[in-house]
Amino acid sequence: ADYLMENKMESRNLFLFLSNDDGDKYFCRSFFPEEKMDYSKNQASWTLLYKKKTDLITGIETVLYNKLK
């Protein structure tokens, strides 16, 4: 996999392994909850600072997460 995404859901860490095809598309290699091994340990990490959702029909944008301030 080229990328690892980690998310905490219902007090469990979930891992999503993504790969990149030849273009700008990504696909899921694997997805499972953390059991004994923390795959994010000793990996470079990025932090989400801003996320917004755009309704494609109405064009209305909704900010879901903003830590830029």
Question: What are the residue ranges spanned by the domains of the chain?
Answer: 1-35
| 53 pLDDT more than 90 | yes
pLDDT band of residue 22 (cuts 50, 70, 90) is: confident
Residue 61: the pLDDT is: 96
- Per-residue pLDDT of 30-44, as tens digits, reads 888 787 777 777 777
Predicted TM-score (pTM) of the model is 0.53
DSSP for the chain reads: --EEEEEEETTEEEEEEEEE-SSS-EEEEEEEE-SS--TTTTS------EEEEE-TTT--EEEEEE---
